[in-house]
């Protein structure tokens, strides 16, 4: 998408939609928001909606980072504690044991 052809109001609205979409368990939208609007928020010459776009970009970066850290912690915890959780650990897993030990 070429943001140069879009008005500043449309940029703000699109940035806002991607930020809100991240809360629907779609954190990749926060990453897309940061990638697409970083230049507009921090490097572009000042314009009226820039502060709001900057706020959404920073919050999207924080949300994506928090989501990534949370997912990493969960994966590490699950992999190290799965055996201790017994049947619950197997029920939460995508792979099921094939035989009885």
Confidence of residue 57 (pLDDT cuts 50, 70, 90): very high
pLDDT at 27 over 80: yes
- In a domain, residue 72? The reply is yes
Domain total in the chain? 1
Cα angle: 15, vertex 6, 3; to 5 degrees: 70
Q: Are 30 and 22 in contact (CB under 8 A)?
A: yes
- In a domain, residue 24? The reply is yes
pLDDT at 96 over 60: no
Joined tokens for residue 54: 């900057």
What domain range includes position 39?
7-83
Q: What is the dihedral of CA 44, 46, 47, 53, to 10 degrees?
A: 60
Please give the model's pTM, rounded to 2 decimal places. Answer: 0.77
Confidence of residue 30 (pLDDT cuts 50, 70, 90): very high
- In a domain, residue 95? The reply is no
- In a domain, residue 58? The reply is yes
């Amino acid at each position: 998408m070429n943001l140069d052809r879009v008005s500043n109001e449309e940029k703000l609205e699109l940035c806002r939609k991607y930020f809100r979409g991240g809360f629907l368990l779609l954190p990749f939208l926060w990453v897309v928001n940061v990638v697409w609007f970083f230049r507009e928020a921090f490097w572009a010459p000042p314009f009226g909606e820039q502060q709001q776009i900057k706020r959404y970009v920073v919050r999207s970066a924080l949300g994506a980072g928090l989501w990534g850290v949370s997912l990493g912690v969960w994966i590490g915890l699950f992999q190290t504690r799965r055996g201790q959780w017994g049947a619950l650990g197997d029920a939460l897993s995508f792979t099921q044991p094939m035989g009885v030990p």
